[in-house]
Structure 1
Amino acid sequence: MAILMTIFIFGIPFYFVIINAVKDATESASLNMAWPASFHIIDNINAVFQAQNGMIMRAFYNSIMITLLSIFLLIIMGSMAGYVLQRKKSKLSPLFNFLILAGLIIPPAIVPTIWVLNSIGLFKTMPGIVLVEVALHLPFTVLLYKGFMATIPKEIEEAAIIDGCTKSKLFFHIIFPLLKPVSSTVIVLTAVAVYNDFVNPLYFFPGSENATLQLTLYNFTSMYKTEWNLLFTNILLISIPPLILFIFFNKKIISGMTSGSIK
């Protein structure tokens, strides 16, 4: 029953997008799930890539670079912070744990963030939007790594220290390779969230040259006309990378999220 409900909830919208992406402008304007009289997917794809002087190609580059840089920083910073919070107990540990939880609860402030980015010269820049994405997703990433770190026996670290291993080598050569399941979870969840982010690039990374894939949907909508066939084709194209990523990493998502939950 659950499988049928899942197919119904996710399969029907996906079918709706695909079936309207292969129609021409007239048929897609009906917004129904009827089979098309003829297929125009190649023409629609060509039109999408030619729109706004090939904006979608620039958007692909921007979205992929923002996603990759954000994932890299989140994995490094999140794993190190999770390790310290799990292993190094001190009087300040409750405060740090509270700050991590506060990062999950408190929403970002748009205007102050723009002011800060502009004052340090990072507004409308790739490093600026990457730092924003990292700041928003770091609390959840730290919690995942902290929970998974509880499943790693301390005896491994003690043995490495006895053998003369330095703190940096202990983490990067021994602990970090053991974090592959949770790192895979972070990669998939963060990649999908950053890749599909619409609001933050709109506010903190404006400009036609800085367009991300979600913003290219505006190319086919206006006050008086919407090219539904091209809009759905665009949606279909930008959905392919997250789908491929999920196919390769889906087996490790659950293990990465549930490990440490019983500690």
Structure 2
Amino acid sequence: MKRQRIRSWTIGVIAIAVSVIVFLVPLAFVLLQASKTPDDASSLAFTWPKEWSFFPNLIAVLESGDGLIWRAFFNSALLTVFSVALMVIIAAMAGYVLARKRSKWGPVVNFFVLAGLIVPPAVVPTIWVLQGLGLFKTLPGMILIETTFGLSFSILMFRAFFGTVPRELDEAAVLDGAGRVRMFFQVILPLLRPVIVTVIVVQSVFVFNDFQNPLYFLPGADNATVQTTLYSFAGQNLSFYNLLFMDFLLITIPPLVAYIFFNRQIIAGMTSGAVKG
């Protein structure tokens, strides 16, 4: 018994040490670089700042580009809210149909859902489609792109969770005179709170942190998102690493706060579909 406790304590210490190395050390490096002067930060050394410039760097980032960072946060917030809202609604309905209805088309649909996780997006054809629809370089077009790319993961999450929802609830709602749409939104959807929170947090962090898709499908300074603002402080000829790391620190705070406050809900949503009720 004592040996088992020592072993558990040792494993716990090792896990904490690994967590510190993986998460806290990079965060400390970013904080130190964001607090340095331009000359001091250019060496990218993991050292104490010779002169603390945290607040001057913060003000410089907030005022750069005529308030570029503020526009970027606004664009990213709109992109995240509307994309995730569409993901939740569409994925919940699609997951419900795939989990409840048995059809010969089921395996085909499942194949395409899984393919969405594996097959990389085709950039040039997607741009052609957006241009044909008049949605290229527009926020609505970018919302549709993010929604589409996040649907596969969301559908799989909802479909797995529906295994914990008894079919008797569907039958009871139908016997009470509820239609399919009313039954879904008034009976089934309120039961999906754990997986809804999980999908919202995970996909919000993904959309908010997305750099590649806005770079391809939403170019332009007026359409900047928080990740594309990093280009403002790093270039081919001149880089302000202190401002770059300050910008990086600012755009890391929202996802970090989301994971801290919704950690338990994320775990509950991820594991709830593993046990059938």
TM-score, scaled to structure 1? 0.97
Q: Select between 243-252 and 55-64 the one with higher mean Cα deviation.
A: 243-252
Q: State the 1:39 CA deviation.
A: 2.1
* d(CA) in 1 for partners of 2:48, 2:137: 43
> Is 1:12 matched up with 2:1?
no
Q: Secondary structure at the match of 2:135?
A: coil
Q: State the 1:173 CA deviation.
A: 1.0
The count of aligned residue pairs is 263
Q: Superposition pairs for residues 50-65 of structure 1, below 5 Å?
A: 50-65=63-78
Q: Secondary structure at the match of 1:51?
A: helix
**Matched residue, 1:126:** 139
**Matched residue, 1:40:** 53
Q: State the 1:33 CA deviation.
A: 2.4
* d(CA) in 2 for partners of 1:34, 1:103: 43
> Is 1:215 matched up with 2:228?
yes
Q: Secondary structure at the match of 1:150?
A: helix
* d(CA) in 2 for partners of 1:163, 1:8: 57
Which 4+ residue blocks in structure 1 deviate beyond 4 angstroms?
Answer: none
CA contact (8 A) 2:164 2:275 kept: no
Q: Secondary structure at the match of 2:161?
A: helix
**Matched residue, 2:16:** 3
* d(CA) in 1 for partners of 2:154, 2:109: 14
**Matched residue, 2:169:** 156
* d(CA) in 1 for partners of 2:165, 2:125: 40
> Is 1:178 matched up with 2:205?
no
| Partner residue of 1:166 out of 176, 179, 184 | 179
* d(CA) in 1 for partners of 2:228, 2:33: 20
Question: For residue 78 of structure 1, what is the amino acid of its counterpart?
Answer: A
Q: State the 1:37 CA deviation.
A: 3.3
Q: Select between 79-88 and 160-169 the one with higher mean Cα deviation.
A: 160-169
**Matched residue, 1:83:** 96
Question: For residue 63 of structure 1, what is the amino acid of its counterpart?
Answer: S
Write the deviation string for residues 139-186 of structure 1: whole angstroms up to 9, x where unpaired: 110000000011011112211211222211211111111111111111
* d(CA) in 1 for partners of 2:173, 2:51: 66
Structure 1: give runs of 5+ residues left out of the alignment: none
Q: Secondary structure at the match of 1:63?
A: helix
> Is 1:191 matched up with 2:166?
no
Q: State the 1:225 CA deviation.
A: 2.0
* d(CA) in 1 for partners of 2:181, 2:55: 52
Q: State the 1:262 CA deviation.
A: 4.2
> Is 1:114 matched up with 2:127?
yes
Q: State the 1:25 CA deviation.
A: 1.4
User: What RMSD in Å do the two structures reach over aligned CA positions?
Assistant: 1.1
Aligned-residue identity in percent:
49
CA contact (8 A) 2:57 2:246 kept: yes
> Is 1:203 matched up with 2:222?
no
Q: State the 1:106 CA deviation.
A: 1.2
Q: Select between 140-149 and 43-52 the one with higher mean Cα deviation.
A: 43-52
| Partner residue of 1:31 out of 44, 54, 67 | 44
* d(CA) in 2 for partners of 1:165, 1:215: 48
Question: For residue 65 of structure 2, what is the amino acid of its counterpart?
Answer: Q
TM-score, scaled to structure 2? 0.92
* d(CA) in 1 for partners of 2:229, 2:251: 10
